[in-house]
Amino acid sequence: MADHGYVHKLKAGEPGNPIFFVFHGTGGDENQFFTFGTQLLPEATIVSPRGDVSEHGAARFFKRTGEGVYDMGDLSRATKKMAEFVRSLAGEHEASEVIGLGYSNGANILANVLIENGLFDKAVLMHPLIPFRPRDNAALAGRHVLITAGERDPICPAPQTQALADYFKAQGTATEIEWHAGGHDIRQNEISAIERFIKG
């Protein structure tokens, strides 16, 4: 399916159920978290877009000029485009709640859409990296955010992860953070924390 601006997979739930957007990491695609999403929220509409930027053949949601160095102009473009994608599909499916889950680059686009536009009632950010201080947004108050991270993640350094969690808390969100002792890999305690958060 290539409508709404992104190639994506979609499993429709009943109108009035939640809609659950899942975002892959660099080099992943719309299949990476689709099954995981359907297992977490079987009644929801599940939407999994494929990033529209290619980095040496690896799909991403926005461009970068180096590891951890974002093309801020393209991040702005991608954030606006993704916000429209989320809005239109949430409206079409009459969603009762808008939930997002993203890993790595997918967590970054999800985080930036949340920061700029709100839109998501609940967001799971797995190994996010926001290497700048986001603008304050009072509209984030009352939303729920779970960040999962590795204490030794070479791509997303722990102090920056903590700074992002502190930012969200300062905006009035209910923010949890789940650490593991490893790096950029996904561990079982993260999965368990995500299950509790999504189903809670």
Catalytic residues: 104, 153, 184
Distance separating alpha carbons of residues 43 and 77, to the nearest angstrom: 32
Fill in the DSSP letter of residue 4. Answer: G
Q: DSSP of 123-174, one letter per residue?
A: EEEES----S-PPP-GGGTT-EEEEEEETT-SSS-HHHHHHHHHHHHHTT-E
Q: Are 96 and 16 in contact, with CB atoms under 8 Å apart?
A: yes
What does the DSSP 8-state code read for residue 100?
A: E
* Tokens read off for 38: 């359907």
For the chain, how many residues are written? Answer: 200
Give which of 129, 126, 143, 130 is closest to 178, Cα–Cα: 126
Q: Which residues pair with 77 in a beta bridge?
A: none
User: Of 134, 124, 129, 137, whose CA–CA distance to 176 is shortest?
Assistant: 124
